[in-house]
Amino acid sequence: MSTAYPLRPFLPADTMALRELFAQSIEELTADDYDEDQRVAWASTAADAEAFAARLGAMTTLVVQVDGEYAGFASLKDNNTFDMIYVHPYFAGEGVGKALADAIETLARSRGATEITVEASDTAEPFFEGRGYQATQRNMVPRDDLWLTNTTMKKQLAPAKAG
């Protein structure tokens, strides 16, 4: 199985499909860690399409499409914060997340970052641990009238290779 997925920058035309992917990923992949009300509140953060597009556009956001289907996306904020990574449930476990994370970390390193930080959901925490991230603190994040937990994690990045 090849994990070389085609990556490209986010385009405003991607907004509606990525909103759908975001909601499906939360609904189907985080059910073991968050209850239904929490998942609905989390997914609602993308309800305003214009605001979601602005958020993705304000960062370096990479998109993976496979045969025209949206497989996942990830965003790098301020060159040192891994802001978002979402994979469509159909593509979960197929290496899309790894390809996106590799690209985001490479981008951060190439832009001079020596470490990268992520606010990992309880679902994503093992993924990031497997990539060498270390938990630094637990967080309670308000969404609507609910609280969602996540963990701030950091990873040291080796300097970019010259040449």
The structure's pTM equals 0.94
The per-residue pLDDT for 162 is 63
Other beta carbons within 10 angstroms of residue 123's beta carbon come to 16
The per-residue pLDDT for 4 is 80
The per-residue pLDDT for 3 is 56
76-94 average pLDDT score = 96
71-86 average pLDDT score = 97
Q: How confident is residue 49, by pLDDT bands cut at 50, 70 and 90? A: very high
> Mean pLDDT over all residues of the chain?
94
Q: Position 144: which residue type?
A: D
**Measured distance CA(44)–CA(3) in Å, rounded:** 31
